Amino acid sequence: MRTDFADLVAALDIGGTKIAGALVDDRGRLLARAQRPTPAREDGATVMGAVAAVIDELGGAAQWSRVRAVGIGSAGPVDASRGTVSPVNVPGWRDYPLVAEVARRVGGLPVVLVGDGVAMTAAEHWQGAARGRANALCMVVSTGVGGGLVLGGRLHPGPTGNAGHIGHISVDLDGDACPCGARGCVERIASGPNIARRALDAGWLPGPDGDRSAAAVAAAARAGDAVARASFDRAAQALAAGIAATATLVEIEVAVIGGGVAGAGEVLFAPLRERLRDYATLSFAAGVEVLPAELGSDAGLVGAAAAAAQELGLWAGREPGTA
Ligand SMILES: [Zn+2]
């Protein structure tokens, strides 16, 4: 079987809590895995040490000789044009030359860097809910709100690997200040912590277990709590406005939503589909579908590999965009 000899991509998924790695084949299968906690409060060299440990463990796998490239999906902001990352939750890395540091640990294999939202998008386009769609917005709604775009059948990372970062589009011009410096961003309204904060401010009371998370607000909404429902409705409204803006700007067919907040299911998706009718009004935007993401926690790894394969032209005939 050719798959026994096919080229592999070593994928890295770098976040504020963990650094995951895997060898990925041309069908999106993960053949070997490694993982370390992110020493997010340590200096840059220590964080890189954890990345190096993941690479070293993958390097010990029997299939390593088939690796042709490295794909990295990292918490952002990233700058793919310079090969640097400045993850908000990893203060030891500011303009950190991640691509160069990884490249010198993998014998000069080509290294492709994208933001984590773009990686998730590559995964959903290749293997998930955006499969076969030529134009899509994929979003991660969790502690933050990120995203990425597929345009004309191909992943569209943009010059620095951040295109589609819908979390920091303003949908409330004079709204609350966002940590990014703007006001009324989608993330400031729709992220998990903001859903929970808004519910608490409006008088929602956590249950006896004291859980104050967005998941607890979702459970209360499901049980009929009006304040909890209103907080999700407001988040849905912000997401709908952002999706409608994207559909109007670049004519997407589908918006795919993953991340922990999407786990609320119909508590989020029902008001979102309804609110979308208020904002996606023009004929060419009104048909945009909203679907839950299909890939789980491996989306970052699968997508980092897919993004590298597309950019480097590996896996001819199988890579994302040729399905
Ligand atoms: Zn913002």
Distance CA 6, CA 202 (A): 56
Expressed in angstroms and rounded, the spacing between residue 186 Cα and the centre of ligand 1 is 7
Pairing of strands 8-14, 67-74: parallel
Handedness of CA 104, 110, 114, 119 (dihedral sign): negative
Expressed in angstroms and rounded, the spacing between residue 170 Cα and the centre of ligand 1 is 7
Span 111-125, average pLDDT: 96
Ligand 1 ion: nearby residues, β-carbon < 5 Å? 168, 178, 180, 182, 185
Expressed in angstroms and rounded, the spacing between residue 19 Cα and the centre of ligand 1 is 25
Phi and psi angles of residue 57, each rounded to the nearest 5 degrees, phi first: -65, -40
Span 276-301, average pLDDT: 96
3-class DSSP state of 199:
helix
Q: What is the pLDDT of residue 318?
A: 63
Distance CA 141, CA 83 (A): 26
Q: Decide if pLDDT at 193 tops 50.
A: yes
Write down all domains in the chain, each with its CATH number in brackets: 2-119+297-312 (3.30.420.40), 132-292 (3.30.420.40)
Q: What is the pLDDT of residue 79?
A: 97
Q: Decide if pLDDT at 2 tops 60.
A: no
Expressed in angstroms and rounded, the spacing between residue 52 Cα and the centre of ligand 1 is 32
Q: pLDDT tens digits, residue range 97-110?
A: 999 999 999 998 99
Q: What is the pLDDT of residue 323?
A: 44
Pairing of strands 78-79, 67-74: unpaired
Distance CA 125, CA 138 (A): 9
Expressed in angstroms and rounded, the spacing between residue 183 Cα and the centre of ligand 1 is 6
Q: What is the pLDDT of residue 51?
A: 98
Q: pLDDT tens digits, residue range 152-162?
A: 999 999 999 99
Tokens of 243: 């999706």
Distance CA 137, CA 165 (A): 10
Confirm whether pTM is higher than 0.85.
yes
Expressed in angstroms and rounded, the spacing between residue 201 Cα and the centre of ligand 1 is 21
Q: What is the pLDDT confidence band of residue 1, given thresholds at 50, 70 and 90? A: very low
Q: Decide if pLDDT at 319 tops 60.
A: no
Q: What is the pLDDT confidence band of residue 89, given thresholds at 50, 70 and 90? A: confident
The DSSP 8-state label assigned to residue 80 in this structure reads T
Span 62-90, average pLDDT: 95
Distance CA 156, CA 134 (A): 11
Span 110-139, average pLDDT: 97
Span 253-271, average pLDDT: 96
DSSP string, 205-271: ---TT---SHHHHHHHHHTT-HHHHHHHHHHHHHHHHHHHHHHHHH--SEEEEESGGGGGTHHHHHH
